Amino acid sequence: MAETYIITPDYNGEKFLEKYFSSLFNQTYSNFRIIFVDNSQNNNSIDYINQNYFNDLKSDKIKIIKNPENYGFAKANNQGIKEGFKDPECKFIVCLNNDTEIKEDFLEKLILMSKKHPEAGSIQSKMIWGQNPDLLDSVGLEYSKNGLGFNRGAYESSDKYNEEEEILGCCAGACLYRREALEDVKLEGEYFDEDFFAYYEDFDLALRLRWAGWSAWYCPEAVVWHYKGGTEEPLSDFTVYYNWRNYTWTLFKNLPLQYILKNFYIVIPAEIAQVIINLSRGKFIIFKAKIDAYFHLKKILNKKKHMTKKVSFESLDKWLKLKWVY
């Protein structure tokens, strides 16, 4: 029984686990349990946990879910969330990547801010780029009018963004979600959309939370170092395919068709630019990404019909800005 459950998907991430676990077990806040969802084909990460945290496994401080294959980031998080929600005392879910190291009061600061803002469905941490600690990785999500998603503050100085403020939504690499908010936007039994597999699933969730009337806040005192790119290379075929397929799905799922038609002059150039840029890099998989995105769009639009919508689009539209690059 715990107030907070930490959900961590893993895919061949053994090399990151020493920093990840040591920082988690050095927290000023202790009312949490860890659900570690292993998508790896090997048992290296599980063997590491058994060798170093056997007593925590016995006491259920750590629970391992082992998948027979890579189920993806979205489904792995959902598995962990559902396991956490079996506990009636669970109030908060913290999604935390395996390639992270958190400051000793990270959890305490997230919990305090969530209690300060009961209308907030999510709380964003200050994510610093682990390999380049002078730079930020993310201080929340930004969504552009052309459908492009950005990590707010990415590659800017880590000395910036020191004020608590409301934001569009949270990066699922290191953030807190309120239980009631996740239950409110659950769609077909899923919190993160499992059809996304990986990438843009947190943008989709952030926009759905906004549609349901939940706010999101940034907590600058909850600091985490993210050793980004640890599991998948940023320009791999895997990343290109899922990132740009899911861009299209997020756009059509979360923005009104009338809005998309009205802004066709910026949506179409964004789609074309993705193809041109990736072809220039020799990433021909961009064709498959876009073909699959539109071929399966009907399924995404059917989900759109059942989304929880408690506010007008104007309340979400005010968070959109026009942006093309970082």
Spatial CA neighbour of 70 closest among 200, 174, 197, 171: 197
**What would the two tokens of residue 258 be?**
């009338």
User: pTM of the prediction?
Assistant: 0.96
Give me the tens of pLDDT residue by residue for the chain, a chain 326 residues long: 999 999 999 999 999 999 999 999 999 999 999 999 999 999 999 999 999 999 999 999 999 999 999 999 999 999 999 999 999 999 999 999 999 999 999 999 999 999 999 999 999 999 999 999 999 999 999 999 999 999 999 999 999 999 999 999 999 999 999 999 999 999 999 999 999 999 999 999 999 999 999 999 999 999 999 998 655 566 899 999 999 999 999 999 999 999 999 999 999 999 999 999 999 999 999 999 999 999 999 999 999 999 999 999 999 999 999 999 97
CATH of domain 4-226: 3.90.550.60
**pLDDT reported for residue 221:** 98
In single-letter form, the type of residue at position 94 comes to V
Cα separation of 36 and 44, whole Å? 13
Which residues fall within 8 angstroms of residue 88, CB to CB, at 6 or more apart?
Answer: none
List the beta bridge partners of residue 177. Answer: 93, 122
**pLDDT reported for residue 228:** 81
**pLDDT reported for residue 234:** 64
**pLDDT reported for residue 326:** 75
- Helix, strand, or coil (residue 45): helix
Cα separation of 137 and 158, whole Å? 9
Give me the phi and psi of 236, to 5 degrees please.
-70, 160
Chain-centre distance for alpha carbon 326: 19
**pLDDT reported for residue 233:** 62
Contacts 24+ apart (CB under 8 A), 308-311: 308/184, 308/185, 308/187, 308/208, 308/211, 308/212, 309/211, 309/212, 310/211, 310/212, 310/213, 311/210, 311/211, 311/212, 311/213
Where in the chain do CATH 3.90.550.60 domains reside?
Answer: 4-226
